[in-house]
Structure 1
Amino acid sequence: MIRYYIKTSRDSKLREIKNIVRGCWIYIVNPEKKEIDKMVKKLGVSRDFITDPLDENERSRIEVDGDNIFIVFRIPHYVNKKILTMPLGIIITKSYFVTVSINKNVILDDFLKEKVKGFYTTKKTRFLLQIFARVNKYYISYLHEVERMVKDIEKGLAYSFKNEKIISLLELEKILVYFNTSVISNGNVMERIFRGNIIRLYEEDQDLLEDIIIENKQAIEMINIYTNILTSSMDAYASIISNNLNVIMKFLTSVTIIISIPTMIASFYGMNVSLPFQNNSNAFLITLFLSLILSGVMAYIFRKKEWL
């Protein structure tokens, strides 16, 4: 799918247009082969600039090819109740601003819905920095979501006897690993833009990019903190689950021993040998009473040892 949008300083709203014009935003999502061929010819860029962001495993990087700048950024992506990361390709030419992605995503949706103030397709450098800022915003937002999910899992862990919750924590740890890799590689791209002469930055742009880099580093620190907390929690809760199972085993063992006493006494009186009280008319009541006393004594002992 390919759409064309434009918004200049004279426009009050983002407008969708039918044809490419100078200063427009070319919005590409999961393009077909013929659409890729069309864009390569129209933009005069390498075919890899459009196909690389369609690879889910593509890493963040920046390339310069003549007057064209190609950037791949890893962005957070929420799909089917799972938090993932995906590549977002950005191509900046003299005349156009191009975005390429496998799927629609919240980052670009915010621009389409005009949730970003001061957004103009004609201001390509500012548009790029605003995308960077939005990416940081959603990484931090999803990190808070991960924190909430951890707390929800923790609520039932204290009395859990299964490994399901530990597995859920492992899934969250995997998300943090992906986030960490993506945010660090994104930061490297930002740093290269800030230090180099790849993109012309005005003083306001430099200040904005510096703030964005600081936010990126804050996100990395948050990821490291959450990862350490999650790792410690998993170790602690693995011990809790093991301890809960030990408590259950102690309880079942104690109950088995207590129940075995009446069974053992009854089995003795089933033998064809001389036994105490065998000629007494109250032999059944005596053995029953004896079984209850012995079982009660054992239950008291186990209770004192906190096995019951």
Structure 2
Amino acid sequence: MLEFYKTNETGKTEKIDAPMPGCWISAVAPTSEERDFLIHEIGVLPEFVKSSLDEEESAHIDYDDDADQTLVIFDYPNVNDETRRFSIDRNGEQMSVQYSTMPIGIVVLKGYIVTISLHENQNISDMASGHIKGVDTRLKTRFLLTLLLRISQKYLIYLRQIDRISSRMEKKLYKSAQNKELIEMLGLEKSLVYFSTSLKSDESTLSKIMRGRQIKLYEDDEDLLEDVMIEIKQAIEMCSIYSGILSSTMATFANVISNNMNIVMKILAVITLVVELPNIIFGFYGMNVEGLIEPYAWFPLTLAIVACVIAIIIFKKKDMFD
């Protein structure tokens, strides 16, 4: 899907029908015809389009001297479609989902700025709908930094959501350690790994942008770039903290579950020993032999009860039932 936006003289960004100089071209999951349009009509390099649509592409910046084009690949946080955030289970409770990261390509070329992504994402929607202040398609560097700032803010939002979900799962685990909560926490831990890897690549890309070699930086854009770098660094720190907390929490509850299992097995072993004493006594008196003490039903029954009581007292003193 191709959409075209341009900021008018009043500073309002509006959707237009056809591309014109100074506009923003948004390409979301473009078809083969739309890719050809970007390459042949707009002039975007084919390798830039291919890199932007590669899910495995890591964040980086690339510049082509001959075409005078700059490609910025930046990873943005994403919620997996198959497990949308805050889905409701059959008990009416909110369940967590797994996060991931996806690359988005921003191509800066003469007369246009083009964003290319394989999937729809909230960052592009917010930019197009006018929910973000300071968007100006005529100022390509500022537009790029505004988009990167929005992406970095999304990281912080999702990280806070992960922290709230992990706290909720932890409270549930205190009451009952079940596989469901542990699997959800494992999904959150996996999400933090994705975030951590992508954030480090994004930070490296921002460092290259700050040098001003591939992207021309203006004096008014320096503060905006510093804000983006601050947000990314804060996200990296938060991701590291939450990942450490989540890992230690899961390890602790794994030890608790293992300890509870040992306690259950110990109690079952003690009960088995206590129950086995009557079987031994009744086995002796069930044999067809002579010379047994008091060969009457009441005696082995009484002896079995006394033996069980004594065994229970001994095990109780040794805290075998705790």
Q: TM-score, normalised by structure 2?
A: 0.87
Residue number in structure 2 paired with 1:277: 294
Q: What letter corresponds to residue 260 of structure 2 in structure 1?
A: N
Structure 1 segment 93-112 matched on structure 2, within 5 A? 93-112=109-128
Query: Do the aligned residues in 1 keep the contact of 2:8 with 2:14 (CA within 8 Å)?
Result: no
Paired-residue identity, %: 39
Structure 1 segment 8-27 matched on structure 2, within 5 A? 8-12=8-12, 14-27=13-26
User: Deviation of residue 6 (structure 1)?
Assistant: 2.1
Structure 1 segment 30-41 matched on structure 2, within 5 A? 30-41=29-40
Counterpart-to-counterpart distance in 2, 1:141 and 1:208: 19
Residue number in structure 1 paired with 2:44: 45
Give the direction of change, closer, same or farther, for the CA distance of 1:6–1:306 in structure 2 (3 Å limit): farther
Residue number in structure 2 paired with 1:4: 4
Query: Do the aligned residues in 2 keep the contact of 1:9 with 1:120 (CA within 8 Å)?
Result: no
Counterpart-to-counterpart distance in 2, 1:211 and 1:93: 24
Structure 2 residues not aligned, in runs of 5+? 84-97
User: Deviation of residue 271 (structure 1)?
Assistant: 0.8
Aligned length: 303
Structure 1 residues not aligned, in runs of 5+? none
Give the direction of change, closer, same or farther, for the CA distance of 1:189–1:183 in structure 2 (3 Å limit): same
Residue number in structure 1 paired with 2:301: 288
Query: Higher mean Cα deviation, 104-113 or 180-189?
Result: 104-113
Residue number in structure 2 paired with 1:303: 316
CA RMSD of aligned residues (A): 2.0
Q: TM-score, normalised by structure 1?
A: 0.91
Counterpart-to-counterpart distance in 1, 2:140 and 2:17: 20
Q: Does 1:71 align with 2:72?
A: yes
Counterpart-to-counterpart distance in 2, 1:109 and 1:300: 71
Q: What letter corresponds to residue 200 of structure 1 in structure 2?
A: K
2:206 to 190, 195, 201: 190
Give the direction of change, closer, same or farther, for the CA distance of 1:112–1:202 in structure 2 (3 Å limit): same
Counterpart-to-counterpart distance in 2, 1:9 and 1:299: 89
Query: Do the aligned residues in 2 keep the contact of 1:8 with 1:121 (CA within 8 Å)?
Result: no
Counterpart-to-counterpart distance in 2, 1:106 and 1:5: 16
Give the direction of change, closer, same or farther, for the CA distance of 1:304–1:151 in structure 2 (3 Å limit): farther
Give the direction of change, closer, same or farther, for the CA distance of 1:161–1:142 in structure 2 (3 Å limit): closer
Give the direction of change, closer, same or farther, for the CA distance of 1:302–1:204 in structure 2 (3 Å limit): farther
Query: Do the aligned residues in 2 keep the contact of 1:161 with 1:245 (CA within 8 Å)?
Result: no
Query: Do the aligned residues in 2 keep the contact of 1:161 with 1:244 (CA within 8 Å)?
Result: no
Structure 1 segment 1-308 matched on structure 2, within 5 A? 1-12=1-12, 14-66=13-65, 67-79=68-80, 80-81=82-83, 82-158=98-174, 165-274=181-290, 275-278=292-295, 283-308=296-321
Q: What letter corresponds to residue 294 of structure 1 in structure 2?
A: A
Counterpart-to-counterpart distance in 1, 2:171 and 2:316: 28
Give the direction of change, closer, same or farther, for the CA distance of 1:233–1:87 in structure 2 (3 Å limit): same
SS across alignment from 1:85: strand
Counterpart-to-counterpart distance in 1, 2:175 and 2:318: 21
Per-residue displacement from partner, 1:78-102 (whole Å, max 9, x unpaired)?
Answer: 1233211000010111211111111
Counterpart-to-counterpart distance in 1, 2:220 and 2:318: 72
SS across alignment from 1:118: coil
